[in-house]
Amino acid sequence: MKFNTMSDSEIIADLCCRIKDARIEQRLSQIDLAERSGLGIATIKRAEMGGSVTLSTLICILRGLNRLHQLEGVLFDTEVRSFNAQISGDRQNTPLRIRKKSAATADETDKPPLDKSIDPTAVDWYISAAENNVIW
């Protein structure tokens, strides 16, 4: 499914449907999921109906469904940078620049050098593995 072509409300509806489907697939009632996730039944109902839930609530629901590991896909870009750093042998933990410098003060020395020693097959494998990862 291509989330970038969907509206926010369509994405929310799809995610809520996936939560409900995962619960039903595991043969859990809403009460069971509420107990496993440490939430109230009203919160589970609200989440399945597309109501407003916090990120903390979503994490509790995913934990209750034993699907918390699927958040790895959300932070995939961070994983790729870390993986590329391991391949290239670059162990520096330099923070990424958040603000963009103005054109007058931009300095080319701030840009990280392109590392051409990275094995493309290893990167291709990692990207392929991530693309085949099923995200709920």
The size of the chain, in residues, is 136
Q: Where in the chain are the domains?
A: 3-66, 69-96+113-136
Is CATH 1.10.260.40 correct for 3-66? yes
Q: What is the DSSP string of 58-98?
A: HHHHHHHTT-GGGGGGTTHHHHHHHHHHHHHT----PPPP-
> Which strand (E) or helix (H) includes residue 107?
none
Q: Is the pLDDT score of 31 beyond 90?
A: yes
Supply the pLDDT for residue 4: 79
Q: Say which residue the tokens 């103005």 belong to.
A: 102
Cα–Cα distances (Å) from 97 to 12, 31, 37, 80, 100, in that order, read 31, 46, 37, 17, 7
**pLDDT greater at residue 33 or residue 115:** 33
Supply the pLDDT for residue 33: 95
Q: What is the pLDDT of residues 52-84, one digit of tens each?
A: 888 899 999 999 999 888 877 776 665 566 666
CA atoms within 13 A on the CB side of 42: 0
pTM: 0.54
